[in-house]
Amino acid sequence: MPGHDAKITEINFDGLIGPSHNYAGLSVGNLAAMRNAGDVSQPRAAALQGLDKMRANLALGLRQGLFVPPARPARTWLAELGTTVDEAEPLLAANALSASAMWAANAATVSPAPDTRDGKCHLTVANLRTMPHRSHEWPATLAQLRLTFAHEGFAVHGPVPTAFGDEGAANHMRLARAHGAAGIELFVYGILGGAFPARQHLEASKAVARLHGLNPERVVFLEQSEEAIAAGAFHNDVVAVANEGVLFAHEKAFADRAAVAELCGRGDYELVEVADARVPLADAISSYLFNAQLVTPPDGAMTLIVPSEARATPSVWSWIEGHLASNGAIRRVEVVDVRQSMANGGGPACLRLRVACDPATVDPRFLVDDAKLDALSEVIGAHWPVEIESADLQKPALINQIEVARATLLEVLELTELLSG
């Protein structure tokens, strides 16, 4: 393929679900998080479910990486607010103990080397300024990105100024004939969201495109539909996902549906659009049909990795079965159990950051195989809390367990330089 760098492959970096995983209901506009606020969480089960998803990806022949959870509680952030985890009001303490960094799709926006002016893979850490519990994530995320991608083939940028909200790859897609070929980058922003905030600002998306040195003729800015945001699609990846030459989206994902169809036609990309009459928007959002991993394993059969909730939703599963029978673009569907993450509003796509690069240029400590996952499983089984009740978040014994669990994890991964953040 002309202009195709065969060394570049896609690596999915999953956020390892941290020991403070809880249901405090902090994310306005995230219907699952709001609905399950106050429920008892299961951090150990959540993290093991995440490992199982990584194992399933490895079994498909995909390259797999991970990011570790940041320090919790976020003591530096609390200090900047003039308090401590012991003295803070319960809601503030919950914001400092959030495990939401597990959703690595919000870690950064990634532009692979074939798209950029300087031929480097660019990453801009997301500022996540819309939600207090996520706004303090970026320093720890940036530290990990700079370790993971320290090779000269990468350029890692700090966050866009917080006047403009940036939610990372959850509002960014890429269409290309192959991961190692030049593509078109799609930045999805919101303006209105009914009762809920539109989290991705157009100016933030434009800034990232400039920082990454993208060709303006190969960048498209798309407005997410107000109806989708109001229905609970707080990020674009709840209603659309792209992979190589395929864009998979709900009929009501974008404000200008015709423009999306025209874009795909012009670039000879395939638009797989799900009609609202077949899968109502509410079903698409509750099942996280589109918050799936759309991937191309080595056998070439494009695969959709969906949460078990998709199989349990009749309209969604009927559409999937019909598409598979029609020999459409998606040739295989794999079902994973990420119920603990789903209960807080994060499906398979939320849990991973896609980075198309040469794996040899990545710090190997952040890449996993089955043996490393086995070692992580032992750490989680020994140190992650079995359950957390929101009312117990500030108890000293729990705080100590959370901090010891993370420290043990970093020792096993030989990443102790991240202990402070």
**Of 256, 257, 255, which is closest to residue 275 (Cα–Cα)?**
257
Active site residue 357: no
CA–centroid distance for 129 within its chain = 16
- Residue type for position 323: H
Q: Are 310 and 317 in contact (CB under 8 A)?
A: yes
Which of 179, 212, 235, 250 does the annotation list as catalytic?
235
Which of 10, 137, 167, 273 does the annotation list as catalytic?
167
Q: What angle do CA 224, 138, 47 make, to 5 degrees?
A: 85
| Phi then psi dihedrals of residue 206, to 5 deg | -65, -40
DSSP codes of every residue in 299-366:
T---EEEEEHHHHTSHHHHHHHHHHHHTT-S--EEEEE--HHHHTTT--TTTTEEEEEE-GGGS-GGG
Task: Tell me which H or E stretch contains 221.
Answer: strand 219-223
CA–centroid distance for 38 within its chain = 24
Q: Give, rounded to a whole angstrom, the gap between the first and last alpha carbons of the chain.
A: 43
Which of 121, 264, 350, 357 does the annotation list as catalytic?
350
Active site residue 167: yes
Q: Is 256 left (phi over 0), alpha (psi -120 to 50) or beta?
A: beta
Residues assigned a catalytic role: 167, 235, 350
